[in-house]
Amino acid sequence: QVQLVESGGGLVQAGGSLRLSCAASGRTFSGYAMGWFRQAPGKEREFVGNIRWSGDTTSYADSVKGRFTISKDIAKNTVYLQMNSLKPDDTAVYYCVAKMSPIPGYNMWGQGTQVTVSS
């Protein structure tokens, strides 16, 4: 069983940067992809982006494209979300996700980490 543990959330001013980390523990992750979702107060959970575990293919939501970058360190079983030019609209709980196959949907979720962007 793989557990996903996020870290790196916090409070930042608009225009600033944060980097989130997500470590997969329990056993070596050898699945299909890892990524990030977020959920703002009163809004539905939304896809932020993901990265294929084999190769470096990434995918991003239009709302974060050009500002957020997902990367991985296979040796550390860790995926990162570098967030630049943050806006108050980026305020949300950010969840790390993972899946073992190309089938749509993610079956592994972290507990979430709060990101708050002040104006």
Q: What is the pLDDT of residue 1?
A: 77
CA terminus-to-terminus distance, the chain:
40
Angle at alpha carbon of residue 19, lines to 18 and 22, rounded to 5°: 145
Q: What is the pLDDT of residue 47?
A: 98
Q: Return the structure tokens found at 27.
A: 């056993």
Per-residue model confidence as pLDDT tens for the chain (119 residues): 789 999 999 999 999 999 999 999 877 788 899 999 999 999 999 999 999 999 889 999 999 999 999 999 999 999 999 999 999 999 999 999 999 899 889 999 999 999 999 99
Q: What is the pLDDT of residue 27?
A: 78
Q: What is the pLDDT of residue 28?
A: 79
